[in-house]
Amino acid sequence: MATLHSNIPAGPLSQKWEKHKFSSKLINPANKRKFKVIVVGAGLAGSSASATLAELGYEVHNFVFHDSPRRAHSVAAQGGINAAKNYQNDGDSVHRLFYDTIKGGDYRAREANVHRLAEVSVNIIDQCAAQGVPFAREYGGLLDNRSFGGAQVSRTFYARGQTGQQLLLGAYSALNKMIGNGGVKSHTHSEMLDLVVVDGHAKGIVVRNLQTGEITRHSADAVVLATGGYGNVFNLSTYARGSNTTAIWRAYKRGACFGNPCYTQIHPTCIPVSGDYQSKLTLMSESLRNDGRIWVPKRKEDCKKNPADIAEGDRDYYLERMYSAFGNLAPRDIASRAAKYVCDEGRGIGDTGLGVYLDFGESIRRLGEDKVRERYGNLFAMYHEITNEDAYKTPMRIYPAVHYTMGGLWVDYNLMSNIPGLFVLGEANFSDHGANRLGASALMQGLSDGYFVLPSTIATYLSTVKAGSRPGTDGAAFREAEESVRAFIQRVSSGNGKRTPDSFHKQLGKLMWEYCGMARTESGLKKAIQLIGDLREEYRTNVKFLGAAEGWNQSLEKAGRVADFIELGELMCRDALMREESCGGHFREEYQYTAADPEVQQGIVNVGDVKRRDDQFAFVAAWEYAGAPDKAPILNKEPLVYEEVKMSTRSYK
Nearest to 337 by CA among 435, 430, 474: 435
* Contact yes or no for 423/411 (Cβ under 8 A): yes
SS (H, E, C) 426-441: HHHECCCCCCCCCCCC
SS (H, E, C) 25-69: CCCCHHHHCCCEEEEECCCHHHHHHHHHHHHHCCEEEEECCCCCH
CA pair distance 406, 428, nearest whole angstrom: 9
* Contact yes or no for 591/597 (Cβ under 8 A): no
Nearest to 280 by CA among 76, 95, 81, 444: 76
SS (H, E, C) 158-200: CCCCCHHHHHHHHHHHHHHHHHHHCCEEEECCEEEEEEEEECC
Beta-strand relationship, 222-225 and 422-424 = parallel
CA pair distance 171, 46, nearest whole angstrom: 9
**Strand ordering across the sheet containing 422-424:** 184-187, 59-63, 36-40, 222-225, 422-424
* Contact yes or no for 492/560 (Cβ under 8 A): yes
Q: Single out the catalytic residue among 208, 332, 337, 579.
A: 332
Angle formed by the axes of helices 522-542 and 501-516, nearest 10°: 170
Residue 156 host element (H or E): strand 156-157
Nearest to 46 by CA among 250, 248, 228: 228
End-to-end Cα, the chain, rounded Å? 42
- What are the phi and psi torsion angles at 307 (to 5°)? -55, -30
In the DSSP assignment, the letter for residue 496 is B
Nearest to 104 by CA among 448, 434, 406, 589: 434
Greatest CA separation for the chain: 74
Nearest to 40 by CA among 193, 174, 178: 193
CA pair distance 72, 63, nearest whole angstrom: 12
CA pair distance 68, 109, nearest whole angstrom: 33
Question: Is residue 332 among the annotated active site residues?
Answer: yes
Phi-psi category of 140—alpha, beta or left, where left has phi over 0 and alpha has psi -120 to 50?
alpha
Angle formed by the axes of helices 554-578 and 476-493, nearest 10°: 100
DSSP string, 545-614: P-S-SSS--HHHHHHHHHHHHHHHHHHHHHHHHH--S-BTTB-BTTSB--TTSHHHHTTSS-TT-B---H
CA pair distance 560, 523, nearest whole angstrom: 30
DSSP string, 285-323: -GGGGGT-EEEEESSGGGTTS-GGGS-GGGEE-HHHHH-
**Neighbour tally for 653: CB within 10 Å:** 13
| Virtual torsion, Cα 186, 190, 191, 192, nearest 10 deg | -60
For the chain, how big is the Rg over CA atoms in Å?
Answer: 24
- Give the type of residue at 196: V
CA pair distance 319, 329, nearest whole angstrom: 8
Query: What amino acid positions are annotated as catalytic residues?
Result: 332
